[in-house]
Amino acid sequence: MMDKQEFKHFRKRLNKTQKQIAQLLGTSIKAIHSYEQGWRSVPVSVERQIYFLISRTKQNKTRTRNCWVIKKCTADQKKKCPAWEFHAGKFCWFINGTICAGEDQRSWREKMKICMECGVLQAVLDEN
């Protein structure tokens, strides 16, 4: 779950003001203030959008390898996984139902616990 410091960090990394990020996320500036002050938790939909936007920054477009390469998935695992089906090996963290750690992850929170430790998402979030 993204906390207030992470939210603010990623907003600044995207080089957006609070007003600009509110427009980009389709929410109010008041909501942005609430996230950054910790008065409201960052919704899953906002967290997902932030990670997606970070993944599309210039520095991240070529650095990430496909998840099935990093995880060394078998042909059977690939066939069952939506990341393989939709050719989204660099966006596996964005897609629910992927076959990570041997089974599909049914909720975003459950999935993100695994993804935060994974090289695919780490390559997206790493600034170096």
> Domains in the chain: how many in total?
2
pLDDT at 45 over 60: yes
65 contact partners, CB below 8 Å, separation of at least 6: 89, 90, 119, 120, 123
Q: What is the pLDDT of residues 51-104, one digit of tens each?
A: 999 988 866 555 678 899 988 889 998 998 999 999 999 889 888 888 876 677
What amino acid is encoded at 123 in this protein? A
Top pLDDT among 118 and 21 is at 21
Q: What is the CATH number of the domain that holds 15?
A: 1.10.260
pLDDT value at position 84?
93
Q: Is 74 found in the same domain as 32?
A: no
pLDDT value at position 125?
83
pLDDT value at position 26?
95
Cα 74 to Cα 15, 34, 81, 91, 96, distances in angstroms: 40, 44, 11, 19, 19
Greatest pairwise CA separation for the chain in angstroms: 47
Domain that holds residue 82: 67-125
- Residue 128: pLDDT band with limits 50, 70, 90: low
pLDDT value at position 120?
87
Q: Evaluate whether residue 93 is within a structural domain.
A: yes
Q: Evaluate whether residue 49 is within a structural domain.
A: yes
Q: Evaluate whether residue 48 is within a structural domain.
A: yes
Q: Is 110 found in the same domain as 76?
A: yes
Identify which of 8, 9, 14, 3 has the alpha carbon closest to the alpha carbon of residue 43: 3
